[in-house]
Structure 1
Amino acid sequence: MPQLNPNPWFFIMIITWLTFTLVIQPKLLSFTSTNPPHSKKPKTLKATPWTWPWT
């Protein structure tokens, strides 16, 4: 069963994780958020009771 041989796949996995952690991740983390959260208070809507016609 060749899939149990870790020689080629372990090297590919290590190279992939190193690429991600050293190259791709810092580039992604350097982006600024285009929609930053605000410290505004959320609006509270006043709920009006429903008038049922049969009561």
Structure 2
Amino acid sequence: MPQLNPNPWFFIMLTSWLTFSLIIQPKLLTFITMNPPSSKAPTTPKTTPWTWPWT
């Protein structure tokens, strides 16, 4: 069964991971995010209970 021969598939997998790790990933990590995380503490809005007219 030829699909059990790891020789060509291992080389393809290794080549694709090296390409991703050494070429594509550094290019993607240089982009600046448009919405950087904020260090401010989240504020909870002041809510008032709903007044039902029939109670």
Matching residue's letter, 1:33: T
Trace 1:18-33 onto structure 2 (pairs within 5 A).
18-33=18-33
List alignment gaps of at least 5 residues for structure 1: none
2:18 aligned counterpart, secondary structure: helix
RMSD of aligned alpha carbons: 1.6
Task: Give the TM-score normalised by the residue count of structure 1.
Answer: 0.76
Aligned-residue sequence identity (percent) comes to: 75
Distance 1:40 1:7 in 2: 53
The total of aligned residue pairs comes to 55
Distance 1:41 1:6 in 2: 52
Q: Which residue of 1 aligns with 2:49?
A: 49
